[in-house]
Chains A and B, each alone.
Chain A
Amino acid sequence: MSAFDRRLFLQLAGVGGAVFVSGLSGAARAADAMSPAGYDDFFFVQLSDSHWGFEGAPNPDARGTLPKAVAAVNALAQAPDFVIFTGDLTHTTDDPRERRKRMGEFRDLVAELKVKTVRFIPGEHDAALDDGRAFKEFFGATNYTFEHKGVHFIVLDNVSDPGAQLGVAQLDWLAADLKKQPKDARIVVFAHRPLFDLYPQWDWATRDGAKAVDLLMPYANVTVFYGHIHQEHHQMTGHIAHHSAKSLIFPLPVAGSQPKRTPLAWDPAQPYRGLGFREVEAEPKTAEYAITELPVQTG
């Protein structure tokens, strides 16, 4: 199914929200115009902020929401090439044993995904109290790269440092990795926290995120997907698009819309409202990413 067919299918099936298209840089458009031959598009699924272990009024079905999301991904008409969880897999706890128990339960739940390529990055709830030790035991490295069908993916860790910094060593690692990429490389970055100052008053920022953005800026085709703020949000820093994902536990208010960053109340009339996950249709030839937001539960 081509990208266009798939998007049309999603719209006709009524399972998706608005389709948000990101990318389409001038350089990529020109390249596409010069070589209109077929290309290998693909799609992946982003899930975020499941906060396994959370209990409270903002989600009376806290233990049921993640399994529903797993079932919803398994029910997709076409399997994604891979699934990525962008952090806060578990809700924080001061008890290291409880942290590992939650991570084990989370790992077992997502093992139910039919898609076998599942990637993870930590959120501060997973990693900030022990410098990512428990996360690494269960899910491996906290920053890494991988290639997929012409796209260079970079996973950044801006949470293991409790001060929400990438740190000099990781920035040097990023710089060294980027040096190996051509300036028109198709680059997708995953992080948990926004790399730009979305709303520092609510800790929606990365202290040295601007340094990462500066390193990425010379590259023509860069898109960032992240989590942390429990809602969909789209912002440009120069030509770099940043897209945050919904949560799988509770939605948070729009930045600055209320005095405190308290979760939006659960609405029994519309359970799971504001929660969801997304499909991202990647078209490497044009560096275009079509985002379709999907609910946890349909109907």
Chain B
Amino acid sequence: MNRHTSRRALMTAAGALALGSLVVLAPAKAKQPKTPRVIKVLAKKFEFVPGEIHVKQGETVTLQFTAPEVPMGFNLPEFKLRTDIVPGKVATLQLTADKTGSFTFLCDVFCGTGHEDMSGTLVVS
């Protein structure tokens, strides 16, 4: 075997190994859980946008919050989920909708004159 032949054989072997790897990886990829749907929520004076969040029962979603003006809070008492939302940072919560119905969420960080009106609804159907 000359030098070129050896190199070709090595590359072929490496390719086979890579292909083998792909074959092995492909089924594993299919079993991975689906990436949770991301729902972006804006917390601004003095409302959440969107004010209604719709999810399916059993669905897991990632809630991503931003507050462009002042510190806010997000509190979903029935799911015992809350986070501070600080301007300049993205706050994240993972929600698994394990029950159906309409659930109130609210800002629980006093943010100004309209604070007490700052709430929304999670609808799980």
Contact = CB atoms under 8 A, between A and B. Distances in A.
B106 A203 contact: yes
Contacts of A197: 77
Contacts of A92: 110, 112-113, 115
B125 interface: no
Contacts of A164: 108, 110
A201 B104 contact: yes
A162 B109 CA distance: 5
B111 interface: yes
Interface size class of B (residues with CB under 8 A): 10 to 19
Interface string B29-52: 000000000000000000000000
Interface size class of A (residues with CB under 8 A): 10 to 19
A128 B113 CA distance: 11
25 contacts: A92-B112, A92-B113, A92-B115, A93-B113, A94-B112, A94-B113, A129-B110, A129-B112, A159-B110, A162-B71, A162-B111, A163-B73, A163-B84, A163-B108, A163-B110, A164-B108, A200-B75, A200-B77, A200-B108, A201-B77, A201-B104, A202-B104, A203-B116, A260-B117, A261-B116
In the A-B complex, the 3 residue pairs with the smallest Cβ-Cβ separation, listed nearest first, are A128-B110, A200-B77, A162-B110
Given A94-B113, A162-B109, A164-B110, 12 more contacts: A93-B113, A162-B71, A163-B73, A163-B109, A163-B110, A200-B75, A200-B108, A201-B104, A201-B106, A202-B104, A203-B106, A203-B108
